[in-house]
Chain A
């Protein structure tokens, strides 16, 4: 049993140490894996705001992940082919600048989250799960047949987008970007959780009637959480697309939504570090179990079942059971 703060520092420090060690040992692929962990963690930190703090079981977060990915893909595609992007009323040039792409990815994901949230949050429980799933599927099928941007084939971006002052093609530098963003998102999550908004949102999850009777609207709290959550997952999507230099409809697939939930549960719901632990485990399992047997997903399934049935706090819950209260 270790304290939560200790656990958080160990996991985050560990991720950084692995990447640095890989740099020293000249194992660039390990850095790539660590980057993948950081990005998947970021996506799950986003989901954790809705799911962990808000209790909103979104089975459609792939929608925002994919929108972020396509924001990157479309902007970079237009920059790469020197064609303007026609928005009907006016045209804009594409861009290969990461900060601009991130901003666009977050704004578009937030907008999508607002629209989906307005519809889905009128309901709760199973309806919410199924409706979010269905909307993500809608994006999936749409991009599948969206031939202007490659349809099922997706879009390849030949050179990773740029960040002022850095060479993003060097694995450790791109890892650095993702790692810093992940840390920023974790810090934001931490602040949110303890801020007035977090208290109200958490109360809306546990006792919505109470929140109403003190004069607050649970629906609005959830909507804001959902939008924030979507924006962060969208940012992760843009980074993920940049990691792969590729975007395709599979980013919208419902397996993606499921995997994001899996990351959180593996690590521990509503735990700050839960998504990171989950992402580390998932990538390690995927990579090493996948190398051992073609049927590795059976074992992934079995491990998930065991965690749901017997270790309901996830790994964070096993390592550092949550003490409650404050002061």
Chain B
């Protein structure tokens, strides 16, 4: 078995009496989509934050391509190849679609310490940004201000910005949230194709999408991983049915 691209070992985090992460060990291997599911308050956001650098774990490790990145900042994890999309869009709302994508391209290809030539005249950055917008289906809207985009279009832009980084692994926080049925289907298609480029750690509420996409699923309840396995195994797991699916059904 090859080395996992992204791996957590025994991640633990508590806020006062509330245990939001309890000895979480999961991994993400080449070519797969690994979905994390769990009821609200199960600690999914905390886990993502710990993986991406927004929160420091009380104990445990985050490893990216075999290297311990637990002490690194969000920015250096991003430079090491971690691409992330946000549940609530984190985009520069006053800027255009293209500008947002070019920010990603700048992060991937260059540094920001250039004070003179207009960024839009940088054809290398622009090519990368436009290619990614094209893949996310946004090329036509590149001059539009983000504040004027629909909710679904912003989700597409989230994805496009992550694509510009050409990361080694994606961490996606509910990319389907708020998309209509048609939007969900299209996003599912894009993600399905994407796993060949880089594996995806997918946190998602939309069970149809999860069952359609995931190679493996981990179930998080009260900060603990209670089960990890294939779609079939998880569907059949009694503990999962009781703790999670049972409630939902």
A–B contact at 8 Å CB threshold (below): yes
- A contact residues vs B (CB 8 Å cutoff): 191-192, 194-203, 206-207, 209-217, 221, 224, 324-327
Shortest C-beta distance, A226 to chain B (Å), equals 14
Contacts of A326 in B (CB 8 A): 96, 98-99, 120, 143
Number of A-B contacts (CB under 8 A): 121
- B contact residues vs A (CB 8 Å cutoff): 52-54, 73-76, 78-79, 83-84, 86, 90-96, 98-100, 102-104, 106-108, 110, 112-120, 122, 125, 143-145, 147, 161, 164-165
Q: A203-B100, A206-B92, A215-B165 are in contact. Are A197 and B115 (CB under 8 A)?
A: yes
Contacts of A215 in B (CB 8 A): 75-76, 78-79, 107-108, 165
Main secondary structure of the interface of A (DSSP, over half): helix
Contact at B145–A325, with CB atoms within 8 Å?
A: yes
Contact at A202–B95, with CB atoms within 8 Å?
A: yes
Contact at B103–A210, with CB atoms within 8 Å?
A: yes
A210 CA to B94 CA in the complex, in Å? 14
Closest 6 CB pairs of A and B: A214-B107, A200-B112, A215-B78, A206-B92, A215-B79, A212-B74
Shortest C-beta distance, B63 to chain A (Å), equals 18
Q: Which residue of A lies closest to B85 (CB)?
A: A213
Contact at A199–B99, with CB atoms within 8 Å?
A: yes
Contacts of A194 in B (CB 8 A): 118-120
A319 CA to B141 CA in the complex, in Å? 28
Q: A202-B92, A327-B143 are in contact. Are A211 and B103 (CB under 8 A)?
A: yes
Q: Which residue of A lies closest to B112 (CB)?
A: A200
Contact at A217–B75, with CB atoms within 8 Å?
A: yes
Q: Which residue of B lies closest to A209 (CB)?
A: B90
Q: Which residue of A lies closest to B102 (CB)?
A: A199
Contacts of A195 in B (CB 8 A): 114-119
Shortest C-beta distance, A15 to chain B (Å), equals 25
Q: Which residue of B lies closest to A210 (CB)?
A: B90
Contact at B92–A207, with CB atoms within 8 Å?
A: yes
A87 CA to B164 CA in the complex, in Å? 52
Beyond the given A191-B118, A196-B114, please list 20 additional residue pairs across the A-B interface where CB-CB is below 8 A.
Answer: A195-B115, A196-B106, A196-B110, A196-B113, A200-B112, A206-B95, A209-B86, A210-B86, A210-B103, A212-B74, A213-B84, A213-B90, A214-B78, A214-B107, A214-B161, A215-B76, A215-B79, A216-B75, A221-B112, A327-B120
Q: Which residue of B lies closest to A217 (CB)?
A: B75
Contact at B94–A206, with CB atoms within 8 Å?
A: yes
A192 CA to B114 CA in the complex, in Å? 8
Q: Which residue of B lies closest to A206 (CB)?
A: B92
Q: Which residue of A lies closest to B142 (CB)?
A: A327
Report which of A192, A201, A211, A214 forms a contact with B165, defined as CB distance below 8 A. A214
Contact at A203–B95, with CB atoms within 8 Å?
A: yes
Contacts of A198 in B (CB 8 A): 119
Q: List 29 A-B contacts (CB under 8 A).
A: A191-B118, A195-B115, A196-B119, A197-B112, A197-B115, A199-B102, A199-B112, A199-B119, A203-B92, A203-B100, A206-B92, A206-B93, A207-B91, A207-B93, A209-B74, A210-B86, A210-B90, A212-B75, A213-B86, A214-B78, A214-B107, A214-B108, A214-B164, A324-B96, A325-B96, A325-B145, A326-B96, A327-B120, A327-B143
A217 CA to B84 CA in the complex, in Å? 16
Q: A194-B119, A196-B114, A215-B79 are in contact. Are A210 and B108 (CB under 8 A)?
A: no
Shortest C-beta distance, B143 to chain A (Å), equals 5
Contacts of A210 in B (CB 8 A): 86, 90-92, 100, 103, 161
A195 CA to B102 CA in the complex, in Å? 12
A53 CA to B92 CA in the complex, in Å? 12
Contacts of A212 in B (CB 8 A): 53, 73-75, 78
Contact at A325–B144, with CB atoms within 8 Å?
A: yes
Contact at B161–A197, with CB atoms within 8 Å?
A: no
A216 CA to B93 CA in the complex, in Å? 18
Contacts of B143 in A (CB 8 A): 325-327
A262 CA to B37 CA in the complex, in Å? 51
